[in-house]
């Protein structure tokens, strides 16, 4: 991430076709060479997340001492049938590479697409009537089915900050029919009776349960009764 930040600050382009080094600081050059030296025979730099970050850093720095094609082959082999790469952070890190770019391009995109509008001040943003009244957040929502917790479907939705889990489910259902669900009110709050055409079954003791996951720590926590706030 440090390498990406340095390249971004330098305002240099970084693409899959980069062939010259964009890093001039000796310490950063050593860091780039150290990253490149850690590539394994299968093209990886560890797991999917670390491989994607390493590939972005090396591409942004213009280093040519590593095998970019082999690294991409490793990443693509780990793409699931749901088109993600095994988790939010891993997928987030791989996506720029699939577009032939890196996070170091952020500054360049701003220059190319935003300068035509001139400088935007804080007052301009605050006075805009088109902005939503509430801050919106993105939520990664997945359906897992069966005792072996097979992943059925995943999507990302945007909801106002302070929304409930029910709001997230409704947003997902409105976006994709795979997330359609049925629910009813109970003494403990909303009770989900069916998701994606799979109903709860009291006879076999199969019920829909909600969990939240911290993508930083990987800890999964069962949701509390009532309206869980995301």
Distance of CA 208 to the CA centre of its chain: 25
Is 223 one of the annotated binding-site residues? yes
Alpha-carbon distance 132 to 149, whole Å? 37
Instruction: Provide the mean pLDDT of the chain.
Output: 76
Is 198 one of the annotated binding-site residues? no
Of all residues in the chain, the percent with pLDDT exceeding 70 is 68
Among 36-45, 70-79, 150-159, name the one with the lowest average pLDDT: 150-159
CATH of domain 136-222: 2.170.130.30
- In this prediction, residue 212 carries a pLDDT of 83
pLDDT above 80 for 91 = yes
Is 47 one of the annotated binding-site residues? yes
Question: Can you give the length of the chain in residues?
Answer: 230
- In this prediction, residue 18 carries a pLDDT of 41
- In this prediction, residue 45 carries a pLDDT of 94
> Whose CA is closest to 162, among 142, 196, 133, 192?
133
- DSSP states of 125-178: HHH-TTS-SS-EEEEEEEEEETTTTEEEEEEEEEEETT-BHHHHHHHHHHH-GG
> Whose CA is closest to 80, among 178, 153, 146, 172?
153
Model confidence, pTM: 0.44
Is 141 one of the annotated binding-site residues? no
For the chain, domain boundaries: 2-111, 136-222
pLDDT above 80 for 57 = yes
- In this prediction, residue 151 carries a pLDDT of 60
- In this prediction, residue 42 carries a pLDDT of 95
Q: 2-111: what fold? A: Glycosyltransferase (1.50.10)
Higher pLDDT, 173 or 57: 173
């Amino acid at each position: 991430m440090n390498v990406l930040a340095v390249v971004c600050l330098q305002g240099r382009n970084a693409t899959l076709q980069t062939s010259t080094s964009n890093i001039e600081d000796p310490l950063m050059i050593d860091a780039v060479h150290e990253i490149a030296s850690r590539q394994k025979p299968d093209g990886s730099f560890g797991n999917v997340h670390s491989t994607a970050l390493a590939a972005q850093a090396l591409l942004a720095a213009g280093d040519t001492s590593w095998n970019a094609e082999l690294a991409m082959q490793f990443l693509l082999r780990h793409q699931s049938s749901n088109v993600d790469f095994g988790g939010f952070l891993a997928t987030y890190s791989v996506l720029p590479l699939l577009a032939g770019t890196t996070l170091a391009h952020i500054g360049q995109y701003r220059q190319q697409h935003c300068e035509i509008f001139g400088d935007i001040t804080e007052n301009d943003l605050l006075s805009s009537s088109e902005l939503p009244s509430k801050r919106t957040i993105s939520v990664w929502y997945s359906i897992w089915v069966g005792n072996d917790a097979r992943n059925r479907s995943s999507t990302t939705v945007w909801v106002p900050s302070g929304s409930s889990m029910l709001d997230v489910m409704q947003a997902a259902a409105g976006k994709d029919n795979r997330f359609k669900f049925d629910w009813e009110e109970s003494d403990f709050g909303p009770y989900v009776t069916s998701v994606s055409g799979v109903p709860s079954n009291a006879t076999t003791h199969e019920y829909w349960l909600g969990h939240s996951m911290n993508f930083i720590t990987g800890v999964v926590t069962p949701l509390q009764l009532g309206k869980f706030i995301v």
